[in-house]
Amino acid sequence: MDDIDRKILNLLQKDATLSTADIAESVGLSTTPCWRRIQILEQEGYITRRVALVDRNKVNVPLDVFVAIRTNEHNWKWLDEFAEIVCEFPEVVELYRMSGEIDYLMRVVVPDMAAYDIFYKSLIKKVQLTDVSSSFAMERIKYTTALPLDYALDDARSRRRKV
């Protein structure tokens, strides 16, 4: 990966609908070499998919709930079952296995607290949990799907971020 690849990825992270010609012009390439670079970035797994970001208010899921979960079950069978059950809920948009005091952290999006209560009751019917703690986001201050590319490796050599 070089600076041109990083520029291409930054542009695509901001707007995946940009034409190859527009990207090429922005990064100083002609269309064909730019298209080849994008194809290579996809083949090598740098670009995993292209999606549309939907306005959460227009689809009535403005509330973020961060759900911290603790369990006494620490085995693969339980984890597989838990992950399968949680992934069935469209309200769960992120799920992480954590280190520290909590075992799992979820981000759930719902219209309001009443909808979260329905979600919560459905979840605890399906899976045994030791402790569930929910925090409701009062305001979203920063949100992005764009990843920082300053840490991307140059030509298979690692480099530190320039300060």
Segment 67-94 mean pLDDT: 96
What's this model's pTM, rounded to 2 decimal places?
Answer: 0.85
Helix axes 20-27, 31-43, angle to 10 degrees: 100
Tell which residue, 163, 107, 149, has the closest CA to residue 14.
Answer: 149
Predicted pLDDT of residue 63: 98
In this prediction, residue 1 has a pLDDT band, given cuts at 50, 70 and 90, of confident
Residues of the chain above pLDDT 70, percent: 94
CA distances from 136 to 5, 15, 106, 111, 162 (A): 38, 30, 12, 12, 37
**17-31, 85-99, 145-159, range with the lowest pLDDT:** 145-159
In this prediction, residue 161 has a pLDDT band, given cuts at 50, 70 and 90, of very low
Classify strands 63-70 and 92-97 as parallel, antiparallel or unpaired. Answer: unpaired
pLDDT tens-digit map of 88-143: 999 999 999 999 999 999 999 999 999 999 999 999 999 999 999 999 999 999 99
pLDDT tens-digit map of 49-70: 999 999 999 999 999 999 999 9
Predicted pLDDT of residue 97: 97
- If you average pLDDT over every residue of the chain, what do you get? 93
In this prediction, residue 11 has a pLDDT band, given cuts at 50, 70 and 90, of very high
Predicted pLDDT of residue 84: 97
Q: What structural domains and CATH numbers belong to the chain?
A: 3-43 (1.10.10.10), 63-136 (3.30.70.920)
Predicted pLDDT of residue 155: 58
Instruction: Give the whole-angstrom CA distance, residue 35 versus residue 27.
Output: 12
